[in-house]
Amino acid sequence: MADSSPRYLLKLSGEALAGPQGFGHDAATMKRIAGEIAECANTGAQMAVVVGGGNIIRGARMAADGGDRVAGDHMGMLGTLINGIAMREAIREAGAASNLFSGFPAPTMCETFSQRAVLASLEAGEVVVLAGGTGSPFFTTDTGATLRAAEIGADAILKATQVDGVYSADPKTDPSATRYATISLDEALAKGLQVMDTAALALARDNALPIIVFSIHQPGALGSVVAGEDVGSRITP
Ligand SMILES: Nc1ncnc2c1ncn2[C@@H]1O[C@H](COP(=O)(O)OP(=O)(O)O)[C@@H](O)[C@H]1O
Ligand SMILES: O=c1ccn([C@@H]2O[C@H](COP(=O)(O)OP(=O)(O)O)[C@@H](O)[C@H]2O)c(=O)[nH]1
């Protein structure tokens, strides 16, 4: 069936779910974000959501503390599955159908990712939550999000993050940084801008995937992006 609905890949960091305490899940924050995602889906957009796990554990951090990197990344990916289950439930409670897939097999909890099953779920009007990143260590969920966006033929990657766009330097550490309305993927890579990791930006460039970066803390920003309004920064192919 040909379907002309726009298809978006939303990347939600684990920290976005944590709310003010910075760890675990904040019920009010989860409810707001899930409500905004459900609203986008109920207005006709196809929504796939890749969840991070930084609110639980990051493998690189564990390795920096002397632990085994692969074991740490396995723990990190399991953290994204915890977030994925929580997000699927929150989206259902917000009034949209939702289905969860994992990049590594967890068959008693959810389906394993496959392009075919995810496209069928999107075309049936379900919000697809994608946990488990790429399923392999040494990657991030930003790279996982870009990979899944390419696999499902998303029109754009929506990166909901801590800051309201792409800046000339990290705005959290450089108050003189200026925001770009638009920047090309080539230029973002050449300037080494760290709003997404290099592997994710390179994969987006090689697959001509636009990225829209906006703040997860701004209520309504997701709906505005999906409505085509000029919110955040655009990283263009
Ligand atoms: N040039 C830049 N423009 C915007 N943000 C940047 C830039 N360089 C670094 N950052 C930082 O990147 C962070 C987003 O990257 P990431 O760690 O992937 O976030 P998330 O936890 O949302 O996945 C922002 O919170 C910001 O502090
Ligand atoms: O393909 C992937 C995606 C994630 N991870 C692990 O899962 C953690 C959580 O993901 P991420 O740091 O990307 O979460 P976010 O910053 O988006 O919350 C990472 O630190 C890695 O340890 C991994 O090993 N492979």
Residue 13, domain extent: 7-236
Q: Is residue 125 part of a domain?
A: yes
Q: Is residue 160 part of a domain?
A: yes
Is ipTM > 0.90 here?
Answer: yes
Q: Which residue's C-alpha comes closest to atom 5 of ligand 1?
A: 195
Residues in the ligand 1 pocket, defined by CB under 6 Å:
13, 15, 52, 54, 142, 161-163, 166-167, 169-172, 193-196
Contacts (Cβ under 8 Å, ≥6 apart) of 107: none
Distance CA(116)–CA(84), nearest Å, equals 20
Q: What is the pLDDT of residues 105-137, one digit of tens each?
A: 999 999 999 999 999 999 999 999 999 999 999
Total domains in the chain come to 1
77 within ligand 2 shell (Cβ under 6 A) = yes
Q: Is residue 2 part of a domain?
A: no
Distance CA(92)–CA(99), nearest Å, equals 9
The Cα-based distances of 16 to 19, 23, 115 in angstroms read: 6, 10, 26
CATH number at residue 86: 3.40.1160.10
Taking the centre of ligand 2 as the mean of its atom positions, its distance from the CA of residue 88, in whole angstroms, is 18
Distance CA(132)–CA(175), nearest Å, equals 34
pTM attached to this predicted model: 0.97
Q: What is the pLDDT of residues 133-186, one digit of tens each?
A: 999 999 999 999 999 999 999 999 999 999 999 999 999 999 999 999 999 999
Task: Band the pLDDT of 1: cuts 50, 70, 90.
Answer: very low
